[in-house]
Structure 1
């Protein structure tokens, strides 16, 4: 029993460390998401300008004196806008890489806690693993929450990679739907994360 108690202390220590690390990661994640969304909104705005130019070209009605004086003005503006979009794509790729690094850190918290559990599982009675208190959730619940958070971050990162890979400057409808697709799952992840951290707040404070 004494040995079991020590192992539970070790398990709780690792879980506490994992949740504290996730809490510190949370603000970095939110700031990175905010930066990425700002770049994405800028990309949509530039794409809108790009398609306005395309519509003007297709209309074949050079009504403005500027167009009459500079017949290649459309091509020059289009080229400039494409350059702007490519720069924004590069920024978003950097954001994706940063989010992937955050995901890796979140995943590591789950891996570390599961490693301690698996190493000592035979010394941890099932009834004790599933037993919690008003302020300390059960070991089973906390391991499950770490897995849930890991899965949510993994979904977000994969979704955002797919959105970035789908970019097609010539598809106006797709370009204007990017931010909606990009934000898919963001609110649910943030709410779930806050909910989990609220459940373990007393547990974290006790260590």
Structure 2
């Protein structure tokens, strides 16, 4: 399918903007899939950190180790070393997931900037920019949705990185925040961006 507004014909500036928006939302769509996959794969590592943290606290308090510690005084230190090493390994994988989210953010931000540059060259024709078709929102709406997507992704990346940076075995509250928020932070992001992409389904299938 070829996308064209009969009233605007082949205005090169407008066509260029549509092409850039088309490319940008294609990047958003593929990036969102990468984002979801990275977070899904991080869940076992988050669960491992939670379980290992509990083991760490029990070991520090010598719960269930009283008799063993009396017989083998260095057993607690050895267990803590092993547990801490496993926690570090799993935390490293959580950071990798956050790095993937950052890469997605960077690609979307780059597309957003390019669209804004093209938009600034055409923004004197508001009639053209606000015109909608039965199969496509207006260019103004699409640019706003793209900026929303960029903001939501960057915000969620920063929240997750903050959660990891603040994680501490000595602060049970910070532990709890990490476990509770890690899996729920994307709710608004996914609902919003997937909603935009649903409206853009026909547009993304068109040849511009």
| TM-score by shorter chain over 0.5 | yes
Match of 1:151 in 2: 151
Match of 1:100 in 2: 102
Indicate if the aligned counterparts of 2:163 and 2:177 stay in contact, CA closer than 8 A.
no
Cα pair distance change 1:120/1:4, threshold 3 Å: farther
CA distance, structure 2, for counterparts of residue 106 and residue 2 of structure 1: 28
1:176 counterpart = 2:176? yes
Match of 1:189 in 2: 189
- CA RMSD of superposed structures (Å): 2.1
Give the superposition deviation at 1:104.
0.3
CA distance, structure 1, for counterparts of residue 48 and residue 113 of structure 2: 37
Give the superposition deviation at 1:8.
1.4
Give the superposition deviation at 1:2.
7.1
Please identify which structure carries the higher helix content.
1
1:76 counterpart = 2:82? no
CA distance, structure 2, for counterparts of residue 92 and residue 129 of structure 1: 42
Aligned length: 201
Tell me the TM-score normalised to structure 1 length: 0.88
Cα pair distance change 1:118/1:70, threshold 3 Å: same
Give the superposition deviation at 1:184.
4.6
Segment of structure 1 superposing worse, 151-160 or 21-30: 21-30
CA distance, structure 1, for counterparts of residue 122 and residue 80 of structure 2: 63
Give the superposition deviation at 1:206.
1.8
Give the superposition deviation at 1:109.
1.7
CA distance, structure 1, for counterparts of residue 177 and residue 185 of structure 2: 15
CA distance, structure 1, for counterparts of residue 83 and residue 13 of structure 2: 61
Tell me the TM-score normalised to structure 2 length: 0.88
CA distance, structure 2, for counterparts of residue 185 and residue 4 of structure 1: 43
Written as runs of structure 1 = structure 2, the 5 A alignment for 1:134-145 is 134-145=134-145
Match of 1:128 in 2: 128
* 3-state secondary structure, aligned to 1:185: coil
Match of 2:62 in 1: 56
Match of 1:47 in 2: 53
CA distance, structure 2, for counterparts of residue 4 and residue 117 of structure 1: 16
Indicate if the aligned counterparts of 2:14 and 2:122 stay in contact, CA closer than 8 A.
no
* Structure 1: gaps of 5 or more residues: none
Q: Deviations over 1:37-61 (max 9, x none)?
A: 332221111101111112326x9x8
CA distance, structure 1, for counterparts of residue 15 and residue 27 of structure 2: 18
CA distance, structure 1, for counterparts of residue 168 and residue 180 of structure 2: 16
**Structure 1 residue runs of 4 or more that deviate by more than 4 Å after TM superposition:** 1-4
* 2:29 alignment partner, one of 23, 34, 55: 23
